[in-house]
Structure formats: structure tokens, C-alpha cells
Amino acid sequence: MSDLTSAEAPAPGLDRQSVSASVAHTLGVAVIGYSFMGQAHSNAWRNVNAVYDGLPTVRMQTLVGRDPAKVSGAAARLGWADAATDWRDVLERDDIDIVDVCTPGHLHAEVALAALAAGKHVLVEKPLANTVADCERLVEAARAPGAGRSMLGHNYRRVPALALARDLIEQGRIGQVRQVRLAYLQDWLADAEAPMSWRLRQETAGSGVLGDLGSHAVDQLHFLLGEQVTRASGQLRTFVPERPTGDGDRREQVTVDDAAWATLHTSSGAVASLEVSRMATGRKNALQIEVYGSTGSIRFDLERLNELVVTGATGGAETILVTEPDHPYLAGWWPPGHVLGWDSTFTTQAADFLRAIDTGAPIHPDFADGLAVQRVLEAIETSSGRGGIPVEIPA
């Protein structure tokens, strides 16, 4: 994984006093995909210049999707100048500078490789790709001469409370990290009659909840501790093996996991437990992170994403409302106490990418970070197939 420095977490330069000398130009953006994640990214591109001054101006040029009527309607609703159905044609256009890939995972590598070859700046929503081999190809392509800037879309790195947690850990606030607990729990598949989707097919999703939610959790472990996972053991489980297709009585086999558990070891000797599930009845989007050090601990829950609980050596817990202007990423937003939402992280992510394009500053997470996560996910899956035997992960 790329070296993580304190400079990349808080991004204090992204405020209304930060003005680059080279922001007179405008960058045309194309988003590939218009469903859930394409809408979240569209919202970010629409708002980024309103929140953060001193960045290149965004022109929301093209929204791309397969269905002509649906993508045209989405483009009009979300604020795009035009719509297209062939992403290959879009890559040839001179009015497109940034390509934002929000497709299902099996298309990430193909679209991103072509966009890099065309000299575009490329943002890819997580996971980087469905296989380690494709991630390695993307890392190589991103480093090739003539390639634009590239970034991986792990938006939770832009949650102010998590960025602050990283700062506190790096500053030694909780001492030497010994244990980490990571749980990402949802319940949208708890109903056995919930219908099939592309996320439940191995050929399109790559994996199930492990790649979807597990990628977020593993990336947070790398981000918060600033180090890699070196060994993993795990178990995958598919609780509902078949689901209705939505067209009558036909049912289709589920070919990915519903839940996963893992034990992860880092290069410093810290041990992390990981649990991810789409079957956790009553949990809607609960990313819970607990970091235990020699002199204190830090706790976070995405369902209370503006709060961070910090405990000292004496056991006293302090709940920090992370909305102050000197907290990471908050300077461009609202007065203290006016909380941010999940969607705000995508706006900040877009701002970080624009700033890096404009100034040449380092970008994180980059494609190498995505490769590091994918190696961990592959090790967990391999371990599960071997009865939970630990798997070593190459640096």
C-alpha cells in the first residue's frame, strides 16, 4: 500500500481561503453509471464548487448508461448537460477531462483502463476491480506515461470523524494499537424473498458482501493505522442460496456470499476482527469501528457519523461532536453543530480529486491502495475455501 501521511487525511487546504493560481480552467466530467452510486457522485459534482472555493470549475457534461430513455431522464434530473449510451464514444471526446466510473464491479477495469489510455483523469468507485490481476493492471496503467491522475472512491476516508480518528491515532493519543474491531452490517437481504440483483452474481459483483462492505472496512483499517494487513483467515457464508428473479416464479442461484468473518494481522502486530453482513436484521448501514490501544481507545459508528468516542487510560469516555471548523474537512461547510451527512463525503472526495489534478498533490486512496485492499479480500476468500487456514499477503 502507498505510504499514508498525516497530510492526506485532514486536507486542511480544502477551505474557502485556499486559492490555487491555476484554477481558471474548467474540467468536463462524465459519470459512467446512473443508479445509486452514479446519483451520489452526480450530487458531488453538482455541489463541489459551491462548497469549496479555489478549485477548477466543474462542467457536468455527460451521464452514461445503457438505456437511452432512462439515462436521458436521469441526466436531466441530476443536472447533466447531455446523456450517452456508449462510454467508448465518450472517451474520444475533447470536452471530457474526468471519467468517473460508477458501474458494477466487473466493468471497472475495462472502462478505467480505456480512460487512462485516452489520457483522462479517472475516479473509480470502490472496489477498484473484482480481481487482484485486474487491480494490478490498473496500478500499472495509472503509472504509465501520459495517463491522467487517478483516484479510488473510498468516500469514508472523507468522514470528518474518521479523518480525526486517524490523526489522533497517529499522534499517539491512544498509545500503541493492539486490537481493532470492524463490523459493517446491513439487512437488505435478510428477507429470503428479496429479489436477485447484479450484486448477487459472481460474474458481475466479483464477490458479495465481502467485496461490497468488506472493502470499506479493510480500507479503513489501512487508513486509520497507516499500515497493511499481512495475514488473514476467514469464513464466507451464503444463507439464502436462491432468490426470486422478479419475473414470475423463476428463482436464480446466488453465487456470492451473504456474510463474512475474518481475523486480520497487520505489520505492526495489531490484530483486527472483521464481520460484514447483509443479513443483520435491524441494521441499515452500521459501520462500527473500535480501535484499542495501550493507553486509550476510539469508537465510531457510521449511523452517528458526526461523533467520535475517545477513551483515555483512566477509562473516562469523551464524545466529540466533529463539526468544528478546525476538524478535518469542515472548514468549507456549516457552523459548529450543524451536522453533515453521508452524501457530503462524496463532495469532499470530488474536491480532493480536483485539488490534486490542479496542483499535482498526492492522491489517496490511489489504485495501489485499492490493490492492497483486494489482496486482503482475496486472502479471506482463499482462507474460507481452505477451512479457515491463515493466508499470507504479499507486500
Q: Quote the cell numbers at residue 255.
A: 453465487
Q: What is residue 248's predicted lDDT score, i.e. its pLDDT?
A: 67
Angle between helices 160-170 and 209-225 (to 10 degrees): 40
pLDDT at 13 over 80: no
Residue 7 has pLDDT above 60, yes or no: no
Q: Are residues 42 and 169 in the same domain?
A: no
Arithmetic mean of pLDDT, 329-347 = 95
pLDDT band at 8 (very low <50, low <70, confident <90, very high): very low
Instruction: Quote the CA–CA distance of 146 and 121 in Å, as a whole number.
Output: 10
Q: Could you report the per-residue pLDDT of 188-240, keeping only the tens digit for each?
A: 999 999 999 999 999 998 999 999 999 999 999 999 999 999 999 999 999 99
Share of the chain above pLDDT 70, in %: 94
- Above 50 in pLDDT, residue 16? no
205 and 165: one domain?
yes
Q: Which range of residues forms the domain containing residue 61?
A: 6-156
Residues 324 and 372 in one domain: yes
Domain assignment present for 230: yes
The last residue of one of the domains, among 156, 174, 207, is 156
Cell of 343: 452524501
Residue at 345 is within a domain? no
CB 78 within 8 A of CB 44: no
Looking at the fold, whether 200 and 125 belong to one and the same domain comes out as no
Look at residues 141, 156, 171 and tell me which one is the last residue of a structural domain: 156
- pLDDT tens digits for range 369-380: 999 999 999 999
Position 246 scores a pLDDT of: 75
Same domain, 148 and 163: no
pLDDT at 97 over 80: yes
Q: Domain with 78 in it: what CATH number?
A: 3.40.50.720
- Residue 19 maps to a domain: yes
Instruction: Please give the Cα distance from 217 to 224 (Å, whole number).
Output: 10
Q: What tens digit of pLDDT does each residue of 257-313 get?
A: 999 999 999 999 999 999 999 999 999 999 999 999 999 999 999 999 999 999 997
Domain end call among 137, 156, 175: 156
Q: Residue 161: in which H helix or E strand, if any?
A: helix 160-170
**Crossing angle between the packed helical segments 132-142 and 108-117, to the nearest 10 degrees:** 10
Q: How confident is the model at residue 5 (pLDDT cuts 50, 70, 90)?
A: very low
Count the residues in the chain.
395
Same structural domain, 117 and 166: no
